[in-house]
Chains A and B, each alone.
Chain A
C-alpha cells in the first residue's frame, strides 16, 4: 500500500467517526435568524467611526467566503447612524438579543473617545474576552491611535488582519500586513503588537516564523480608515495573501510596496511563498526584489539575484509579465484590485492568470 493510500485510509477511517447532532438543522436556522454583524449597531451607537473600526477589527475574524461583506456598512449608512448615535444610547440596548454582549464606556458623544468591551457569550469564541480601544487625538488632526490596553482580561485580539500605513496618500491601501495568528498579551507593546506614534511594531510568532520591526506610517482620515478596512480584506483575498504567506518571499518584499497592484504582482511573480518556505519557482534564497515597475502594461520586476529558468526571461534578474487588465473596483477608498496578466508565471505556466 502506497503512502498516499495509507493517508486516504486514515482519513476515511477518522472521517467516519465524526458525529453529527440531530438538532443541527434547527440550530443553523436559529443562528441564521440572529442579528447579522452584532457588533455594528453598538459601534454605531457610540457615535464614532473609530469605534466601528475597532469593533470591526475585533469581530471580523477568519476568511470566510463573504468576509468582505461582513465588515462594515458603507459611509452613507455610517453617517446616518452616527447622527442618531450621539444621544448616548446604551450600545448594549441597541442590539438586544444578539449573541454578543457588548458594553461600552467612555462614550462622550463627540466621537473623540471610545472604549469597547465585548464578551462573546457563545459560539466557538465564547471564551474570548476582548477589549478594544481607540482614541482620537484632536490635537493631531485626524490621527488615530489604536491601542491594546494593558489591563483586564484581554486574552486575544482576534484580528486576522491589520491594516497599517499612510492612508492619506490617496492610493488607498498603503500596506497590508498580516492575516496571521497573532495573540496579543495584555499590555502588548513591543512584544506582540503595539502602536506608538508613527510606528507599528509587530512581533508575530506564527508557525515558526517571526517578523519584527515593521515601521509604517500613521493613520489618517477617518473615512479612509473606514474604507480601507474593507479594502484590506478584499485586497488580502485578491492579492493572494493568506495565512502564512502574507509577507515576504525569500528576502523581504512587501514592506517596500505601497500599491496593491504591486503587492499582487509580487505575489504573482514569487509564487506566493511564505516565510519559512523553501525557495521555489526559480527564486534563490535571499533574493530581494529591487524594484517593480508598471509601464505600458508590462510589469517588470528586478531581482537582486539571478532567477532560474522557470522565471522566463533568462537569468538576468528580470522578469516580465504582460498586464492585460487592471481594474480597481469600488473606488474611492476601497481598492479591490483585479489584474490579469499573461506570461510564464513561475511554476504555473498554463496561461493567463486572474488574481482576484
Chain B
C-alpha cells in the first residue's frame, strides 16, 4: 500500500480504523469487484468509490466492512446497469480482459449472467457468504437469494454445456 497519507486526511471519527479497513479490505474488494465486472479497471474504480462512501459515512457505518461490501456490490451492479445497452463496449472490455488468459468457459459463462445472478454467485462461491449475508448485501430477501443462486447455477450450466 504505497503512499498512505492517512494522517492528513483520515476521517475524524475513523482515525486508524479507516486505514485498517483499507489495509484489510481493499485488495479483497477489488477481487470481488473484478469477479462481478470482469474489468480490472472498473473494479479498482468502483472499490475506490466505495471507500469514499465509507469515508463520508463513517459515523453511520456501524460495521464498516459490511457497509463497504454492500457499497461495492451495489456499485458493481450500477456499473452493469449503466453499460447495459453498450453491449459492444462491454464485449470489448471482456475481450481485452481475456487476452493473455487461458480459456475458461466458466468465466466466460459467468460474464453472461444477469448482474444480480452473477453477484449472488460470486458472493456465495467466492466470498463464501451465507444466504442471509448475501441477502443483506444485495438488499433482497433470503428467499430471493435462493432463487438467484439456483437459477444462476442453472443458467451457468447451460452456458458451459452449450
Interface residues of A (CB under 8 A from B): 3-4, 6-8, 10-29, 31-33, 36, 61-66, 69, 123-125, 156, 158, 160, 180-181, 183, 205-207, 237, 240, 242-245, 271-272, 277-278, 280-281, 345-348, 350, 353
* Listed residue (B6, B30, B31, B70) with the most chain A CB atoms within 10 angstroms of its CB: B31
Q: Inside 8 A of B101's CB, which chain A residues have their CB?
A: 14, 17
* Listed residue (A19, A156, A353) with the most chain B CB atoms within 10 angstroms of its CB: A19
Q: For chain B residues 43-83, which have a beta carbon within 8 Å of chain A? A: 43-46, 48-53, 55-57, 60-61, 67, 70-71, 74-75, 77-79, 81-82
**Residue B95 lies at the interface, judged by CB distance under 8 Å to chain A:** no
Nearest B residue to A268 via CB reads: B141
Query: Knowing A11-B35, A272-B144 touch, does A63 contact B122 (C-beta < 8 A)?
Result: no
21 residue pairs A–B, Cβ–Cβ below 8 Å = A4-B153, A18-B34, A19-B30, A25-B2, A25-B6, A25-B22, A29-B5, A33-B9, A63-B139, A64-B74, A65-B57, A65-B61, A66-B71, A123-B45, A156-B82, A242-B138, A272-B140, A272-B143, A281-B143, A347-B143, A348-B146
Q: Give complex CA distance A140, B127 in Å.
A: 55
Q: Inside 8 A of B32's CB, which chain A residues have their CB?
A: 15
Residue A18 contacts which of B10, B30, B53 (CB distance < 8 angstroms)? B30
Q: Give complex CA distance A12, B11 in Å.
A: 33
Q: Give complex CA distance A123, B41 in Å.
A: 11
**Are A26 and B147 within 8 A (Cβ)?**
no
- Interface contact tally, CB-CB below 8 A: 195
Q: Inside 8 A of A242's CB, which chain B residues have their CB?
A: 116, 138-140
**Are A15 and B31 within 8 A (Cβ)?**
yes
Residue A62 contacts which of B6, B44, B78 (CB distance < 8 angstroms)? B78
- In the A-B complex, the 5 residue pairs with the smallest Cβ-Cβ separation, listed nearest first, are A62-B78, A348-B143, A181-B84, A22-B2, A18-B34
Nearest A residue to B48 via CB reads: A28
B8-34 interface bits toward A, Cβ cutoff 8 Å, 1 = contact, 0 = none: 111000000001001000110011111
**Are B107 and A272 within 8 A (Cβ)?**
no
**Are B74 and A65 within 8 A (Cβ)?**
yes
* Chain B residues bordering chain A, tally (CB within 8 A): 75
B104-136 interface bits toward A, Cβ cutoff 8 Å, 1 = contact, 0 = none: 101100100011100001100110000000000
Shortest CB–CB separation between residue B138 and chain A, in angstroms?
8
Q: Give complex CA distance A27, B9 in Å.
A: 11
Q: Give complex CA distance A73, B109 in Å.
A: 43
Q: Inside 8 A of A62's CB, which chain B residues have their CB?
A: 74-75, 77-78, 81
Nearest A residue to B23 via CB reads: A25
**Are B126 and A15 within 8 A (Cβ)?**
yes
Residue B126 contacts which of A12, A19, A23, A124 (CB distance < 8 angstroms)? A12
Q: Give complex CA distance A245, B56 in Å.
A: 30
Residue B4 contacts which of A26, A36, A156 (CB distance < 8 angstroms)? A26
Residue A207 contacts which of B35, B55, B74, B114 (CB distance < 8 angstroms)? B114
Shortest CB–CB separation between residue A69 and chain B, in angstroms?
7
Q: Give complex CA distance A7, B146 in Å.
A: 17
**Are A240 and B9 within 8 A (Cβ)?**
no
**Are A24 and B153 within 8 A (Cβ)?**
no
Q: Inside 8 A of A125's CB, which chain B residues have their CB?
A: 82
Q: Inside 8 A of B46's CB, which chain A residues have their CB?
A: 124
**Are B82 and A63 within 8 A (Cβ)?**
no
**Are B60 and A32 within 8 A (Cβ)?**
no
Shortest CB–CB separation between residue A122 and chain B, in angstroms?
10
Shortest CB–CB separation between residue A186 and chain B, in angstroms?
14
Q: Inside 8 A of A237's CB, which chain B residues have their CB?
A: 139
Shortest CB–CB separation between residue B13 and chain A, in angstroms?
13
Nearest A residue to B10 via CB reads: A29
Query: Knowing A25-B22, A156-B82 touch, does A32 contact B44 (C-beta < 8 A)?
Result: no
**Are B9 and A65 within 8 A (Cβ)?**
no
**Are B77 and A243 within 8 A (Cβ)?**
yes
Q: Inside 8 A of A14's CB, which chain B residues have their CB?
A: 34-35, 101, 104, 107
Q: Give complex CA distance A45, B104 in Å.
A: 53
Shortest CB–CB separation between residue B135 and chain A, in angstroms?
10
Query: Knowing A15-B126, A181-B81 touch, does A28 contact B143 (C-beta < 8 A)?
Result: no
Q: Inside 8 A of B126's CB, which chain A residues have their CB?
A: 8, 11-12, 15
**Are A66 and B141 within 8 A (Cβ)?**
no
Q: Give complex CA distance A158, B70 in Å.
A: 21
**Are A24 and B48 within 8 A (Cβ)?**
yes
B133-162 interface bits toward A, Cβ cutoff 8 Å, 1 = contact, 0 = none: 000001111111011000101001100100
Supplied contacts A20-B27, A181-B82, 16 more A-B pairs, CB within 8 Å: A4-B125, A11-B126, A25-B2, A32-B51, A65-B53, A65-B67, A65-B70, A66-B53, A66-B60, A158-B82, A181-B85, A240-B141, A240-B144, A242-B138, A243-B115, A348-B143
